[in-house]
Structure 1
């Protein structure tokens, strides 16, 4: 098991970055008139996942860390909703979002496990 020296060593942060990156590439395929609509919503919620994990990691107290991890979990739910809606309204295909959604579900499980671990350590 590797040592964790900063937030970049966290697997959940790395997975969050992968999700955000994939969402940026996906939204480049959306119509230009969605730039300030769904594109912005997907990118904002995707970036919020690793950003809140990183911010929480840097907090001094466990309760603060848990709060930011919970915000990241909320962003996961928001992102999944935007992706599903994008597919439902024809901005993308189910095939284009399947991998991202599977990564989102994995990230969600990892975040829930971390929250439980942090709560037990208090």
Structure 2
């Protein structure tokens, strides 16, 4: 943790970028009438995960970083909801949905671990 120079050094940020790309690719296949609805919402929330990790890492204080990790976790839950709705509407098959949710869970675990480490560093 002490060798962190920027958000680009964080594996969770790198993984979240790959995941955002996957969300974009799958949502590109959804009906065009969802362009300003579900597509826009799921993409915005997915981008928010990576963006909040980056913004938190760029802050001066550890407490602020922890706060932005919490926002990123909230965005993960939002994307999960959008993806489950897309699945219910038939926009995603279970085979398309499962890997997105599995990566989301992995990112969530990594964010939780990062938050715990940051809190320990803040309160030794």
- Bin of the TM-score, shorter chain as denominator length: over 0.9
Distance in 2 (alpha carbons) for counterparts of 1:106 and 1:39? 23
Aligned to 1:27: 27
TM-score by length of 1: 0.95
- Counterpart residue number, 2:61: 61
Q: Structure 2: how far apart are the matches of 1:120 and 1:7?
A: 19
CA apart distance, 1:6: 1.6
1:5-33, CA deviations, whole angstroms, 9 ceiling, x for partnerless residues?
Answer: 32112101001101100000001100100
Partner of 1:79: 79
In 2, the alpha carbon distance for the partners of 1:116 and 1:79 equals 23
CA distance in 2: counterparts of 1:9 and 1:65, whole angstroms: 15
What is the rounded CA distance, in whole Å, between the counterparts of 2:44 and 2:74 in structure 1?
Answer: 12
**Aligned pair count?**
120
Q: In structure 2, the residue corresponding to 1:5 is in which secondary structure?
A: coil
| Structure 1 gap ranges (5+) | none
TM-score, scaled to structure 2: 0.93
Aligned to 1:118: 118
Question: Could you give the per-residue CA deviations for residues 65-116 of structure 1, whole angstroms, max 9, x where no partner exists?
Answer: 0010100000011101110110011122111111111000000000001111
| Aligned-pair CA distance for 1:41 | 0.8
CA-atom RMSD in angstroms: 0.9
